[in-house]
Amino acid sequence: MAHGGVLFLDEMGEFSAVVLDSLRQPLEEGVIRLARAETRVELPARFLLIGAMNPCPCGEGVVPAACRCSDRALERYRRRLSGPLLDRFDLRIDVHRPDPRQLLGGGPAESSAVVADRVRNARCRAVERGVRCNAELSSSALEHSSPLETNASALIERSLESGRLSARGMRRVWRVARTIADLEGYEGALTAEHVASALHLRTDPAFLVRSLVK
Amino acid sequence: MVKSRIPDEAWVTALSRVPGIGPARLRALLASDEPASLWRSVCNGSLPKELPPDASSGGAGLRLPQALRDQWRFAARTIDPEAYWNAHVEAGIGVMLRWSPSFPEELANDDDAPAILFWLGDIDRLAGTRVAIVGTRRASRYGIDVANEFARELSLAGVSVVSGLALGIDGAAHAGALAVEGAPPIAVVGSGLDRVYPRAHRSLWRAVAERGVVLSEYPLGSSAVAWQFPARNRIIAALSDVVVVVESQSTGGALGTAVEAARRGRTVLAVPGPITAPSSAGTNQLLFDGCGPVRDVGDVLLALGREPERRRVAAEQRPTPIGTAKDVLDALPWQAIPVEQVLSTTGLELGLVMLVLEQLENDGWVSQRSGWIERIGRGGAR
């Protein structure tokens, strides 16, 4: 149903592991295969998946040390959201409680029209590469259209070595860095700043971060 | 009777497995009768309605309502004391009753003494001076580093580190004690010795058993039930000459350990933290309430009546940040903040800030976790 549109899952942490895991196949292949009795149907399912959830069951885990969850509750949360599913999200953003001072006194925000313009321009660049958006860039098209500066590839290598980034995650970060550059209207090889920003937009959720003790 | 082939320890082990027979009831039961005959009374429902008061129950007798005795009787039917005892023997679990002459003296004389102790490792390793290092499971980098450092240095000074093998501070303390060739580490856990909890600490648990001793008052198969953790804390407190609370929120198990320790006349020390950090609210409260502050491990040794070697503050080894890196570091308070806050304070772009933070992290100035940045003080990095 969400083909060509947006699928938004609120309170994603409350869905069952089975339901969430069944999203992996359509996310990868862009189609849903249904088998009912003798019939097999293939439905197109290329959609933008957005999930929202609390950082942990008690919801206080946005601030480290404020979380009141038991280890068991956290473990359940972890089990539900499998690593492979989370790995397929391009952007994973921590949303913090806004500082009241910022809400009241912060400077004027950019108008949505300006932002929309920027997004439109970025999308045009993707179309010039033959795709609707950068997420659809094949590996070879990505490497061809978006070379990395030496510093940028060094940063990716360091992240891979430290285990912060998986091989699948690496391509995703690269594509996000491409999009960040597109939004800036930046031409040329992607810089370490672009990659660093993309890496930050792939935060490990607090409930996944294990004990600091090895 | 045929059943008397197994020792007293076996009957008490079986009794301690019956749900509803906790440490206090077990103590009262054992004050009233022989273990083997107690077990028979539990099984055939012939326990008295009320046990006479004994010294450890402080005057009041223990009432055993019919419902409770029925519950015990049914639960006891599922336990075969002899097979259960053999399982303990085969698993290499040490078992000792309170009235055994080699039972740790501090525990045997305790008001709330465990009636039985199970252990993995070598019980003789309890012999030395002992200091508890405890704190929150949701520790900051600061707390983890302090717990780890104190445990290393205490072990090297020949002091055994006692803790609960929990996530956070406890685990950091045990990891620190194991990182050096020092005094044997001691763990007191709140579940049966075959129920490793938390599972993330499986290898740590094994290492403590190999190099030191893991104690529990619960027999094999007892899972980690919430009330058993505060109960475990009283054993940590009773076993320790000094209790150091490294980091604690305003409520938390570690504060319970501090109360249990104070009640037993043990010295309680607390590590100060930023007054703005929720992770140190409990420890700062302890300081306000009159606990001694700890600045370094020398303060702990002093509390043990030893002459501390005053450590010179180690010379700064980390490369001095310059330019943007200095600006970013200067913008960080002494508690964790989200990256977005660094952006709004410095007015710098995300990409640049992330690059600078990566460098600062490599140089040991900051620690990053899940989008939060925490500054690291002297000597924190490993």
pLDDT score at B232 = 94
Residue ending a domain, among A58, A89, A120, is: A89
Query: Complex ipTM above 0.85?
Result: no
Task: Name which of B136, B353, B355 to mutate to probe chain A: the one with the most chain A Cβ atoms within 10 A of its Cβ.
Answer: B355
Q: Are residues A151 and A185 in the same domain?
A: yes
**Nearby residues of B265 by Cβ (< 8 Å), 6 or more positions away:** none
Residue ranges of chain A with per-residue pLDDT less than 50: 211-214
Inter-chain CB proximity B369 and A197 less than 8 Å: no
Q: How far is CA B218 from CA B12, B116, B154, B214, in A?
A: 11, 8, 29, 12
Pairing of strands A48-51, A6-9: parallel
Partners of B339 on chain A (C-beta within 8 Å) are 200
Q: Are residues A130 and A188 in the same domain?
A: yes
Q: How many domains does chain B have?
A: 3
Q: Are residues B56 and B125 in the same domain?
A: no
Q: Are residues B290 and B207 in the same domain?
A: yes
Partners of A213 on chain B (C-beta within 8 Å) are 144, 148, 167-168, 171-172, 175, 201, 204
Query: Would residue B102 count as lying in a domain?
Result: no
Partners of B340 on chain A (C-beta within 8 Å) are 96
Query: Would residue A119 count as lying in a domain?
Result: yes
Q: Are residues A127 and A182 in the same domain?
A: yes
CA distance B304 to A144: 67
Residue ending a domain, among B34, B69, B84, is: B84
Q: Are residues B281 and B210 in the same domain?
A: yes
Q: Are residues A41 and A114 in the same domain?
A: no
pLDDT score at A37 = 77
Q: Are residues B209 and B280 in the same domain?
A: yes
Shortest CA gap B197–chain A (Å): 10
Inter-chain CB proximity A71 and B340 less than 8 Å: no
CA distance A102 to A99: 5
- Phi-psi category of residue B259: left, alpha or beta, with phi > 0 → left and psi -120 to 50 → alpha: alpha
Shortest CA gap A34–chain B (Å): 38
Q: Are residues B284 and B346 in the same domain?
A: no
Q: How far is CA A3 from CA A26, A32, B101, in A?
A: 10, 10, 75
Q: Are residues B12 and B72 in the same domain?
A: yes
CA distance B349 to A183: 14
Domain with residue B165: its CATH number is 3.40.50.450
Q: Are residues B292 and B364 in the same domain?
A: no
Partners of B336 on chain A (C-beta within 8 Å) are 64-65
Q: Are residues A39 and A83 in the same domain?
A: yes
- Per the structure, the complete domain to which residue A77 belongs is given by 6-89
pLDDT score at A212 = 47
Query: Would residue B110 count as lying in a domain?
Result: no
**Nearby residues of B105 by Cβ (< 8 Å), 6 or more positions away:** none
Inter-chain CB proximity B144 and A213 less than 8 Å: yes
**A-chain residue closest to B340, CA distance:** A96
Q: Are residues B294 and B334 in the same domain?
A: no
Query: Would residue A193 count as lying in a domain?
Result: yes
- Per the structure, the complete domain to which residue B263 belongs is given by 121-303
CA distance B248 to B331: 25
CA distance B324 to B348: 9
The string of DSSP codes covering A43-92 is: EE---EEEE---SSTTS-TTSTTT----HHHHHHHHHHS-HHHHHT-S-B
Establish, for the pair of chains A and B, how many residue pairs have beta carbons separated by less than 8 Å. Answer: 94
| Interface residues from chain B to A (CB-CB < 8 Å) | 136-141, 144, 148, 167-168, 171-172, 175, 197-198, 200-201, 204, 226, 249, 277-279, 336, 338-341, 344, 349-352, 354-355, 358, 369-372
| Interface residues from chain A to B (CB-CB < 8 Å) | 63-67, 70-71, 94, 96, 99, 102, 155, 158, 180, 191-197, 199-200, 203-206, 208-214
Q: Are residues B127 and B271 in the same domain?
A: yes
Q: Are residues A73 and A119 in the same domain?
A: no
Pairing of strands B186-188, B160-163: parallel
Inter-chain CB proximity A197 and B175 less than 8 Å: no
Cα B208 from chain centroid (whole Å): 13
Structure tokens that stand for B222 in this block = 């007892």
Q: Are residues B293 and B334 in the same domain?
A: no
Query: Would residue A175 count as lying in a domain?
Result: yes
Per-residue pLDDT of chain B (382 residues; tens, 9 = 90+): 444 578 999 999 999 999 999 998 999 999 889 999 999 999 998 898 888 776 655 566 788 899 999 999 999 999 999 999 999 999 999 999 999 988 999 999 999 999 999 999 999 999 999 999 999 998 988 999 999 999 999 999 999 999 999 999 999 999 999 999 999 999 999 999 999 988 889 999 999 999 999 999 999 999 988 888 889 999 999 999 999 999 999 988 899 999 999 999 999 999 999 998 889 999 999 999 999 999 999 999 999 999 877 665 667 788 999 999 999 999 998 888 889 889 988 999 999 999 999 999 989 999 888 888 989 886 543 3
Shortest CA gap B52–chain A (Å): 39
Q: How many domains does chain A have?
A: 2
Shortest CA gap B379–chain A (Å): 17
Residue that has been written with the tokens 């020092």 in this structure: B182
CA distance A7 to B123: 59
Cα B41 from chain centroid (whole Å): 35
Q: Are residues A118 and A183 in the same domain?
A: yes
| Residue among B249, B352, B371 whose CB faces A65 most closely | B249
Query: Would residue B40 count as lying in a domain?
Result: yes
Cα end-to-end distance, chain A, whole Å: 45
Query: Would residue B54 count as lying in a domain?
Result: yes
pLDDT score at B382 = 39
Query: Would residue A192 count as lying in a domain?
Result: yes
Query: Would residue B96 count as lying in a domain?
Result: no
Instruction: Give the three-state DSSP class for A13.
Output: helix
CA distance B267 to B246: 14
Query: Would residue A38 count as lying in a domain?
Result: yes
Query: Would residue B243 count as lying in a domain?
Result: yes
* Alpha-carbon torsion (B122, B126, B127, B133), positive or negative: positive
Query: Would residue A103 count as lying in a domain?
Result: no
**B-chain residue closest to A152, CA distance:** B355
Query: Would residue A50 count as lying in a domain?
Result: yes
Inter-chain CB proximity A64 and B138 less than 8 Å: yes
Query: Would residue B290 count as lying in a domain?
Result: yes
Residue ending a domain, among A55, A89, A123, is: A89
Query: Would residue B291 count as lying in a domain?
Result: yes
